[in-house]
Amino acid sequence: MITLVTVKIDRVVKRFGEIVALKGVSLEIKHGELFTLLGPSGCGKTTLLRIIAGLEYPDEGRVYFDGSDVTDLKTYERGAVLVFQNYALWPHMTVYENIAYGLKIRKIPRDEIKERVKRALELVKLEGYEDRYPTQLSGGQQQRVALARALAVQPKLLLLDEPLSNLDAKLRIEMRSEIKRIQRELDITVIYVTHDQEEAMALSDRVAVMNFGVIEQVGTPREIYQRPKTKFVADFMGKNNILPAKILEIKNGRATLEVLGHRISGIPAENILGDYSDLYFSIRPEKVSLTPFEGAQAFEGRVDLVEYYGFFVEIVIKIKDVFFFVRVPDLKEPLKQGDNIKVYFNPRDVILLQE
Amino acid sequence: MNTKMATVVKKVRHRKILENIFGIPHFDLFAIVSYVIPLAYIFIFLIVPLAEMLKIAFTYNGAFSLHWFKSIFSQEFYISPKPQGSLYVDTPQYIYVEGLDFGVILNSLIVAMFVTLLATLIGVTLAYVMYRYTFPGKSIFRVLLIVPLLMTPFVNAYVVKLIFRENGIFNWILHDLIGILPKPIRIDGLVGVMIAQAIAYYPIVYLNTYASFVNIDPSLEEQAENLGSRGFKLLRTITLPLALPGIAAGATLTFIFSLEDLGAPIAFHSASIAKKLITYQIYDKFLSETGYRSPEIAALAIILLALSLLAFALIRKYVSLRQYAMMSKGGRWYVRTVKPKWWQYVIIYTIVLPLVLFTITPQIGVILLAFSKEWSRTPYPRGFTLQHISQIALDPSVRRYVINSITYAFTAILIIVVISVMASYVSNRFRGVLSPIVEALTVFPLAVPGIVIAIGYFYFFASITPKTSVLNPLSVSFNPGPILIIAYSIRRMPFTARSIYAGIQQVHASLEEAAMNLGSTRWRAVMGILVPLIAMNVLGGAMLSFVYAMSETSVSITIGSLEMSKAPMTAYMRDLIVSAAGSAHMAAALGFILIAVQISAIILSTIITKQRYAFIGIT
């Protein structure tokens, strides 16, 4: 029987010698949720995942599954199954033996093992590969076997450590839909680690963005993309224009700023996250337009570079030696380097952030 | 609430202690046992005997004293900066070369240094030729280069002595046939020891260097060539510096092996200057003063140990500082070879080939000696006979030595494998205070000269066992078997431990973690996942340890000869070599058995592990 599990992480601290990998991290992960730990390499996300798996132990803080403290349980007592980044398939065992391993340890009868290996392989669409050895499989197939091996034991909690990072771009997108489909089908709680923000957004119910051993923000992909709470999150999630800004005045719930020598007004005060000093102005490139509209604010600069991406065009504009990015669906007229250009945006799309 | 908090705090504190000492986060019986057993075994059977010897060497009239060391250093017999004797003696029939006598300690150092120099020169040159060039006959070279590794204690050096007699094959060719020598040269004494050792040990440098060359990422050389470097400049600035750790490791091992060698001095002992080496002196005094815990022997052994340890410590430090040859990542690479230029062909076939052929003459000589009736007055042996070989098979009094050796070596290997797997596992997988200590201890025996272990064991077992016990070397009912097994297991452990350690390094820790994460205990993950994956390394290392245990001399001819009915074959070979002429044939026949065992082991490990060589290294 698969039982759903909630995970609570309470003020977890982990040090490796002088380095503090996790600086008091707390999190709650709900039943049946696909939860992603997202952050650059070295941010502590894999360490946190290994602590949940029971492969590392926190120096301080506790870990709870369904309200019971599992901090002192060994990895083989926890039932939180990890799919390793390098897959960790045993090269001396066949696909069948790899997947059956966890079942044999659980002393499941032979016939049932056969049945469950078969089902696990069906789930990852690798029927008929039982007798292959891992070295005879492609990277994507190895990845599926690793997943099947974890799923075969019907884990309470599935942990995925950058499972797609060794695959090529096309396969990565295919596999991430697969993972989502399997998670829905089995209805299990999944904690997913990645450094790829696009992957995190496409896949997750909720995301925790981590940096330097600290969780910067937890929320749905939409919340995190649209309302980043810190400069780091705004910068890390997708492309963003982040510029130093100064508040000139706030009147009737609207702020007026100075950004790169431009006076920008009409920004809703609720978009100011943090104190009123040392602020950064941020706006997404796709929220900027080349045509004026009612209530728009504007920047002026010179065209530096135009890059064609297919479904959008990116224009790099130099405003007072600072690069400013604009993404528009297409260009009506060609732009040349050095052309003067004026770009427009809605002040409600501006968010003011702190470091 | 408070008590609950207290238990949590206590648990965390326990965990911290376990983590600091063992590098394990939880109490884990298997992990702790895997630490304790190797530590205890090496501590009891290596550190304690050495400590016992230290105590004896530093005691005079019941108190701590440097007396014995002062006494040694003040005697001209041990250190004589003004050499005695002359470099050569011009007799009417031949020129006699045996070396100058600088006193026992300096002699040992000078011999070891010359041997290291010579072996490094030959070894590095051959390694470079084999690494860089393709030429007809290269595969024959490759086989020939393994031959000098085949060890037949005493007999190898004895054959070198035969070759360099005034009527030996060396003078027969260069004086009688070609005539480039105006007078025959007879090489004996310390110079003879030097040549015998250099020939025997250069393959250690060769193999370490060759392995280093092959491990260089070709793109490093390619980048240098791409930037305009080539030929000798490329060798000097890129290739050699990258291989330097391997070369240094091989050279240091050679230095230590030469320093601790007892076989060549015994084979050359008829020239009394060959006796003036530290190992021989310890051995000689051990034989004449058995039953007496001589502080002078202990002090001499400590000096030998100190010299060897110093070399070992320096190389460990150096190699650990320069672990870059293997740094680059990437797939399996090819070895970059080129065709030699015409003058390089000339060098390969007129200098390198004869050199290699010369270095395998001891092994050829051993086989000729084993199957010949007589080889004393002539340059080559006379009369073919199977008498010696068949005597080993048929005469129970000879056969038992072979059986003893196999029994002791095999039992030692079982101990070695168990301890090496445990020690390599914990030192590789955990990061506790003890992890590097365990790792260092498994390699440490390489630095301890065999004769030092022999003396240490003699004192140790004589003092801890009851006077009449079979384990007491002073007892009339003494059985050397158990002590020899322990000695072999300690002395030959580094080969297996290194091989297993390297194997575990190749296996990513996540493979065991995945098993444990799926519910397997650590014991089950190690036995079911790790051990099968490193089986080839275990086997390769065990075979190497086995052949080296079979040919062990120092402990075998000291403690082993205390009761000849239980003695190993090397003890009997020593008796044969030092007794009247003629018995050398029997010793050679036993040497032939050793060669056969070694060749089978090499072939087996090549077939099974698909590695080209089982080789000796400390890196």
Annotate B423-486 with DSSP letters as a single string. HHHHHHH--SSHHHHHHHHHHGGGGS-HHHHHHHHHHHHHHHS-TTSTT-TTSTT---HHHHHH
Q: Which letter, b or e, does each residue of A87-112 get, where b requires 16 or more Cβ atoms within 10 Å of its Cβ?
A: bbbbeebbbbbbbbbbbebbebeeee
For residue B374, being part of any structural domain is answered with yes
Is the pLDDT confidence value at B291 over 80?
A: no
Classify residue B85 by its DSSP letter. Answer: S
Q: Name, in order, each residue with C-beta under 8 angstroms of B232's C-beta and a sequence gap of 6 or more.
A: none
pLDDT of residue A275: 74
Residues B378 and B422 in one domain: no
Residue B52 lies in a domain: no
pLDDT at B39 over 70: yes
* Contact call for residues A52 and A9 (beta carbons, < 8 A): yes
Q: Which residues in chain B are contacts of A102 at CB distance < 8 A?
A: 518-520
Between B5 and B164, whose confidence is greater? B164
Count Cβ atoms within 10 A of the Cβ of residue B137 and give its class: 0-12 exposed, 13-18 middle, 19 or more buried.
exposed
Q: What is the pLDDT of residue B189?
A: 92
Mutation for testing the A interface, residue in B20, B516, B517 having most A CBs under 10 Å: B517
- pLDDT higher than threshold 80 for residue B132: yes
Q: Which of A55, A85, A107, A133 to mutate to test the interface with B (most CBs of B within 10 A)?
A: A55
- Alpha helices of B492-582 — where are they, by DSSP H? 493-506, 510-517, 522-525, 531-533, 535-550, 554-558, 569-578
Bridge-based pairing of strands A19-29 and A34-38 is unpaired
Interface test with B, best of A16, A90, A98 (most B CBs within 10 A): A90
In a domain, B522, yes or no: yes
Number of Cβ within a 10 Å radius of residue B604 = 14
Select from B340, B367, B384 the last residue of a domain: B384
DSSP A261: T
On whether both B320 and B260 belong to a single domain, the answer is yes
Torsion of CA A215, A219, A220, A221, to 10 degrees: -40
Query: Which pLDDT score is estimated for A274?
Result: 72
Same domain membership, residue B328 and residue B200: yes
Q: Tell me the sheet residues that pair with B96.
A: B89, B186
Residues of B in contact with A101 (CB under 8 A): 515, 518, 520
What are B476's strand-pairing partners? none
Q: In whole angstroms, give the CA distance from residue B466 to residue B471.
A: 8
- What is the structure's pLDDT at B613? 45
User: Residue A170: its pLDDT value, please?
Assistant: 87
Bridge partners, residue A36, by sequence: A192, A207
Domain boundary pick from B334, B360, B384: B384
CB contact under 8 A, B516 and A76: yes
Domain closes at, from B322, B353, B384? B384
pLDDT category at B232 given cuts 50, 70, 90 is confident
Q: A55 to chain B nearest CA, in Å?
A: 7
| Chain A nearest CA to B530, separation (Å) | 9
In the numeric block, which tokens belong to residue A308?
Answer: 């064609």
What token pair was written down for B533? Answer: 């994956």
In degrees and rounded to multiples of 5, residue B344 shows phi and psi of -75, -35
Same domain, B360 and B464: no
Same domain, B292 and B167: yes
Within this chain, do residues B448 and B512 fall inside the same structural domain, yes or no? yes
What's the rounded Cα separation, in Å, for the pair B51 and B54?
Answer: 5
The answer to whether position B573 is within a domain reads yes
Asked whether residue B586 is domain-assigned, the answer is: yes
Write out pLDDT tens, residues A220-269: 999 999 889 899 999 998 889 999 998 888 888 899 999 988 899 999 98
Would you say residue A1 has pLDDT above 70? Answer: no
pLDDT at B115 over 80: yes
Instruction: Identify which of B503, B489, B365, B486 has the alpha carbon closest to the alpha carbon of residue B428.
Output: B503
Chain B, 451 to 510: residues with Cβ < 8 Å from chain A are: 508, 510
pLDDT band at B91 (very low <50, low <70, confident <90, very high): confident
DSSP strand E in A227-330: where? 241-251, 254-259, 262-268, 279-283, 288-289, 297-308, 313-319, 322-328
Interface with chain A: mutation pick from B15, B518, B529, highest number of A CBs within 10 Å: B518
The size of the A-B interface in CB pairs under 8 A is 67
Query: Which of B508, B518, B532 faces A101 most closely, judged by CB atoms?
Result: B518
Is the pLDDT confidence value at B612 over 80? no
Asked whether A198 and A221 are in contact (CB, 8 A), the reply is no
pLDDT grade for A273, boundaries at 50, 70 and 90:
confident
What is the CATH classification number for the domain harbouring B119? 1.10.3720.10
Tell me the residues of chain B between 2 and 41 that have a Cβ less than 8 Å away from chain A: 11-12, 15-16, 19, 25-26
Which pLDDT score is estimated for B408?
Answer: 97
Is 60 exceeded by the pLDDT of residue B393? yes
- Tell me the per-residue pLDDT of A72-109, one tens digit each, with 9 for 90 and over: 888 888 889 999 999 999 998 999 999 999 999 999 99
| Cβ–Cβ below 8 Å for B532 and A92 | yes
Contacts of A76 in chain B (CB under 8 A): 516-521
Residues B287, B199, single domain; the answer is yes
Let me know whether B400 and B263 are in one domain: no
Q: Answer yes or no: do A76 and B529 touch at CB < 8 A.
A: no
**Within 10 A of B159 (CB to CB), how many other CB atoms are there?**
29
Q: What is the pLDDT of residue B330?
A: 44
Going from the C-alpha of B494 to that of each of B413, B441, B446, the distances in angstroms are 11, 9, 7
Q: Is residue B30 part of a domain?
A: no
DSSP state of B123: H
Chain B residues whose CB is inside 8 A of the A81 CB are 517-518
Verify that B120 and B264 share a domain, yes or no: yes
Q: A323-327, A334-338, B320-324 — which is least confidently predicted?
A: B320-324
Specify the 3-state DSSP secondary structure of A71: coil
pLDDT(A355) > 80: no
Chain A residue with CA closest to B512: the answer is A88
- Say yes or no: B341 and B464 in one domain: no
Nearest-CA distance from A348 to chain B in Å? 49
> Is residue B381 exposed (0-12), middle (13-18) or buried (19+ Cβ within 10 Å)?
buried
Q: Is residue B596 part of a domain?
A: yes
Indicate whether B22 belongs to any domain.
Answer: no
Cα separation of the two ends of chain A: 47
Residue A65, beta-bridge partner list: A7, A68
Higher pLDDT, B476 or A209: A209
Is A91 close to B25, i.e. CB distance below 8 A? no
Nearest Cβ partner of B520 from A53, A76, A81? A76
| Lookup: tokens for A133 | 């050895």
Task: Provide the domain limits for residue B356.
Answer: 66-384
Do the Cβ atoms of A171 and A140 come closer than 8 Å?
yes
Antiparallel, parallel or unpaired: β A254-259 and A206-211: unpaired
Kindly list the residues from chain B whose CB atom is less than 8 angstroms away from the CB atom of residue A75.
Answer: 513, 516-517
CA distance A45 to A50: 9
pLDDT digits (tens, 9 = 90+) for A276-335: 778 899 999 999 999 999 989 999 999 999 999 888 999 999 998 899 999 999 888 888
Domain count, chain B: 2
Task: Give the side-chain half-sphere CA count within 13 A for B432.
Answer: 25
Write the CB contacts of B17 (distance below 8 Å, at least 6 apart in sequence). Answer: none
Q: Has residue B619 got a pLDDT over 70?
A: no
CA angle A273, A348, A321 (to 5 degrees): 80
Task: Give the pLDDT band of residue B292 (cuts 50, 70, 90).
Answer: low
- What is the mean pLDDT of the segment spanning B365-377? 85
- Same domain flag for B364 and B403: no
pLDDT (0 to 100) of residue A159: 95
- Tell me the chain B residues in contact with residue A105 when contact means C-beta distances shorter than 8 Å: 518-520, 524
CB contact under 8 A, B510 and A76: no
State how far residue A77 is from chain B, nearest Cα, in angstroms.
7
Residues from chain A contacting residue B520 (CB–CB below 8 Å)? 76, 101-102, 105
The pLDDT tens digits of the residues spanning A142-172 come to 999 999 999 999 888 999 999 888 888 888 8
CB contacts of A53 in chain B (<8 Å) are 517
User: What does the pLDDT read at residue B5?
Assistant: 63
Judge whether A326 and A287 are in contact, CB under 8 Å: no
Q: Tokens 């450590």 — which residue?
A: A161
Q: What is the pLDDT of residue B334?
A: 65
Q: Give the pLDDT confidence score for residue B582 in this predicted structure.
A: 62
Name the residue among A256, A254, A233 with its Cα closest to residue A246: A256
Q: Is the pLDDT at B442 greater than 90, yes or no?
A: yes
Q: Are residues B315 and B330 in the same domain?
A: yes
Paired residues of B63 in beta bridges: B60
CA atoms within 13 A on the CB side of A82: 30
Q: Spell out the residues 6+ positions from residue B241 whose beta carbon is closer than 8 angstroms to its own.
A: none
- B535-557: pLDDT as tens digits: 888 988 898 899 889 999 999 99
Residue of chain B whose Cα is closest to the Cα of A77: B519
> What DSSP character marks residue A304?
E
Q: Which residues contact A330 (CB under 8 A, 6 or more apart)?
A: A312, A313
Does the pLDDT at position B76 exceed 90?
no
Q: What's the mean pLDDT when you consider all of chain B?
A: 87
Q: Give the residue, B385 or B306, on which the prediction is more confident.
A: B306
Reported as a single tens digit per residue, the pLDDT across B7-25 is 666 666 777 787 888 888 7
**CA–CA–CA angle A107, A129, B332 (5° rounding):** 105
CA closest to A55 among chain B residues: B513
B616 has pLDDT over 70? no
Nearest CB among A57, A72, A82 relative to B517 is that of A82
